[in-house]
Structure 1
Amino acid sequence: MAKILVMTDLHITPEGETIIGLDPGARLSAGLAHAARTHPDAERIVMMGDLTHHGAQQEYARLKTLLADLPWPITLMIGNHDTRTGFRAAFPDAPTDADGFVQSAIDLGDIRLICLDTHETDPAVQHSGLLCPARLAWLVRELEADTKPCLIFLHHPPFDTGFSGMDHIGLMNAAELRGMLTAYPQVKHVFAGHIHRTITASIDGLPITVFKSPCHQMPMILGQEGSGHSVDEPGAYGIILTDGDNVVVHFEDFTLPFQVVGHY
């Protein structure tokens, strides 16, 4: 089975700046070192947006340094805390579609990964996500170009999670996207970030997984308002095992104390 690593919501800050006392750069570095030690055989790592905390040039520069010399190919996506201009300036070789959105389709043997750009620049809906007609048209073209089993990646979850404050800045046309994806039987699983919480769901028949952040997490406050809540819980990344038709998802809390593996 192919192995794909996933990290989301890195929130890289300038050197010396922290979020609730945590250094996102140090957390990412620890997570990458853990993944390199335990999963060097992964075929790719996908980073699903909110790469930086403010989309600032120095944040992207720090991120670029942290991502140097990884043992796997990397796919970078953007989220609501990013900017397209800042991202493209720092990573000019990252693939974009014909309209300049940070979207890409990657073939891993008999499996296809489709990575979407849900970043929305309208200040009236700050931090919400959107897949505009141009982005959806690109998605349709990619889905119709190949019928091999497909995994979909996007920053904003395409459903209400129960975290009310985050759902208010969710994907604005989530139902439209779900209706589109359900029309293509090759779509096997959907992956998202944004919430900073491990969530699994089946919505309109679509299996969906949301991953935690390598840095700070959302406290378990279902139904409460506000989108800035953060708690110092273990940093995490995801591990996807798939042969295309079958998808297994694991969650690694890499900042938990290291334990020696033995037999009993």
Structure 2
Amino acid sequence: MGEHFDKALIFTDLHIVSEGETIIGLDPLARFSEGLAHALDRHPDAQHLILLGDLTHTGAQAEYDRLIPVLADCPVPITVTMGNHDTRAILGAAFPGALNADGFAQTALDLGPLRLLVLDTHDDDGQAPLEHDGWLCKTRLAWLDAELARAARDGRDVVVFTHHPPCPVGFWAMDAIGLANADALLDRLHAAPHVKHLICGHIHRTIHASAGGLPVTILKSPCHQNPMILGQGTFADSVDEPGAYGILLALDDTIVVHTEDFALSSGKVQRYK
């Protein structure tokens, strides 16, 4: 195995608020800024930065306006998609090129030997049963079909990204607002043997799962987290625990997803005796 890592950094659920506002006493912008600096300092060789939805807390213009300067000097290409707290038109204006020709924040990009397919699960039109549910419409699913076929022709293994997980995780309130038409996604992914991993956000917790045999990694927020109360009945509960980001590595024939907490300590590496 060589020394080169094909590497992408992943942040999800930033929940940026307007100036002077906080979430459970935390400033999400300060937490994200700290996490991004931590990630770029330790992984300057990263080739992509993926922001996996819920960039803002209410989807307001002022929230995106606070986020953009933090990303202005980012030395790696940035890919963004939408979560249930985002606003499509404002996000599209804040990140030119983020929306494809169909108006969705869906992107296909390469990381070494991998094809990364970033899907947009934001429900604009109320097609999903509940307000914060995710939804993949026929247009988005057709895009996925075409990109899966293209990746197969190109001989590339695929990692898929969605904000909303397509599988239950044991938090009842969050499971109720997952990807409402999850079967439409999973049927396609299970039928494509070159799809190797699925990476999601939304839950504000680090979780490893299997959706019908497909490995799933769910990453937590750089800001507030979902408390470990399995079966809880509300998604409004939050806890001040360390934020984190994900690191995707393509290593020969192996896909690795690390999760890195930050703000725990100085991060100085010391050797014990």
**CA apart distance, 1:244:** 6.4
Q: Is the 8 A contact 1:47 1:76 kept in 2?
A: yes
Counterpart-to-counterpart distance in 2, 1:72 and 1:99:
26
Please point out which of 122, 128, 147 is paired with 1:119.
Answer: 122
Determine whether 1:50 maps to 2:58. no
Please point out which of 184, 197, 212 is paired with 2:192.
Answer: 184
**CA apart distance, 1:122:** 3.9
Please point out which of 102, 126, 130 is paired with 1:99.
Answer: 102
Structure 2 spans left out of the alignment, 5+ residues: none
Please point out which of 6, 16, 22 is paired with 2:10.
Answer: 6
Q: Which moved more, 1:99-108 or 1:22-31?
A: 99-108
Counterpart-to-counterpart distance in 2, 1:74 and 1:27:
18
Per the alignment, residue 84 of structure 1 pairs with 88
Paired residue secondary structure (1:146): helix
Per the alignment, residue 132 of structure 1 pairs with 137
Q: Is the 8 A contact 2:81 2:119 kept in 1?
A: yes
Letter in 2 for 1:187: V
Letter in 2 for 1:206: L
Letter in 2 for 1:57: Q
Per the alignment, residue 74 of structure 1 pairs with 78
Per the alignment, residue 161 of structure 2 pairs with 153
Per the alignment, residue 226 of structure 1 pairs with 234
Size of the aligned set, in residue pairs, is 263
Please point out which of 251, 263, 267 is paired with 1:255.
Answer: 263
Determine whether 1:19 maps to 2:23. yes
Runs of 4+ in 1 over 4 A off after TM superposition: none
Map 1:203-222 → 2, pairs under 5 A: 203-222=211-230
Q: Is the 8 A contact 2:248 2:255 kept in 1?
A: yes
**CA apart distance, 1:260:** 2.3
**CA apart distance, 1:253:** 0.8
Paired residue secondary structure (2:142): helix
Map 1:23-38 → 2, pairs under 5 A: 23-38=27-42
Counterpart-to-counterpart distance in 2, 1:107 and 1:198:
25
Per the alignment, residue 165 of structure 1 pairs with 173
Per the alignment, residue 209 of structure 2 pairs with 201
Q: Is the 8 A contact 1:236 1:251 kept in 2?
A: yes
Normalised to the residue count of structure 2, the TM-score between the two structures is: 0.93
Counterpart-to-counterpart distance in 1, 2:151 and 2:124:
31
**CA apart distance, 1:218:** 0.1
**CA apart distance, 1:175:** 2.0
Determine whether 1:240 maps to 2:244. no
1:46-83 alpha-carbon deviations (Å, 9 max, x no partner):
11000000000011111111111112111111100001
User: Aligned Cα RMSD in Å?
Assistant: 1.2
Paired residue secondary structure (1:209): strand
**CA apart distance, 1:240:** 1.3
Determine whether 1:144 maps to 2:138. no
1:8-67 alpha-carbon deviations (Å, 9 max, x no partner):
000001121100000000001100111111111111111100000000001111111111
- The percentage of counterpart residues that share the same residue type is 58
Q: Which moved more, 1:213-222 or 1:96-105?
A: 96-105
Normalised to the residue count of structure 1, the TM-score between the two structures is: 0.96
